[in-house]
Amino acid sequence: MESDHQTTGLPSEHSEQGATTPTVGDVMLAIEELWPESLAESWDAVGLVVGRPDSSAAKILFAVDPTREVITDALEWGADLLIVHHPLMMKPVNSVAASHFKGDAVHRLIEGGCALATVHTNGDSAVGGVSDVLADAFGLENVEPLSTSADGLPEEGIGRVGDLSEATTLGDFAGVVFSILPAVAGGVRVAGDRDGLVSRVAVCGGAGDSLFEKVRESRADVYVTADLRHHPVSEAREAAENNRPYLIDVSHFGSEWLWLTPAAAALDNVLADQGFTAQTRVSTVNSDPWDFVLTAGTD
């Protein structure tokens, strides 16, 4: 994927202002300040996956997925810490033998001196998280969570809903969504009247079909999320009032990739406030799993 990456901070161990290089443990404390583990869903697996807390973290790479190509990117850059959105191991394992791709990932990271940390649903729920970034990108105002977090602030939780400054057509809004997200094979799918007016928008980065009831309660005109499946979508359209909410199905990877740059900047700020400096960079690897798509064409 062709995309810009951002490099911040200083590569040296000490800056002229006397700032020092953080350890992995220091970065994990900064992560906890930004994206508290208490905000993660009960089924999730977040936190430090690989690495020693007392190791240096001078170079930090952000990515959506801990794929082979992303790990190669991290190791070739000389990263000390790879922060990803999606967990490498969501379920417990009884082996990390390198004969399996997940075990191989663990071995490559350890042998390359690169720690691995996951910020997943805690990064979704927190202020400034994945869905907040989407809401900002789409220009939403009066934003609030679709589903508030039991252990967070009133403005924290899964998904967001807000209002456009001016009503627009579904077709034009879908065009805005398409133009903002990174280019992937699957493109953007839309369910609804192309000329229908929309002003209230619900968003959820990643898979969001579990939130249809919350979307209906929010009175959103359109819902932007990823991984929409046939049966939930069919039922949502049957249950719609005045054909709303319309639906916009985007790439799971693309919907979360937007968060990486502001996340890296936020981590930079917290580390700087604590007297640390580190290089942070967003991986340009496209880890969307699809390579091409065939369609019947559009007019």
Query: What DSSP string describes 197-215?
Result: EEEEEEEEEEE-GGGHHHH
What is the pTM for the complete model shown?
A: 0.91
pLDDT at 297: 67
Mean pLDDT in residue range 116-138: 97
CA distances from 41 to 37, 48, 75, 178 (A): 9, 16, 30, 29
pLDDT in tens, 88-110: 998 888 899 999 999 999 999 99
pLDDT category at 17 given cuts 50, 70, 90 is low
Q: Sketch out the chain's domains with CATH numbers.
A: 24-123+259-282 (3.40.1390.30), 130-255 (3.40.1390.30)
Lowest mean pLDDT among 38-42, 104-108, 236-240, 284-288: 236-240
Residue 88 burial (10 A CB sphere; 0-12, 13-18, 19+): buried
Give the Cα separation of 195 and 299 in Å (integer): 15
Q: Which amino acid is it at 229? A: R
Could you report how far apart the first and last alpha carbons of the chain are, in Å? 27
pLDDT at 150: 87
pLDDT at 195: 98
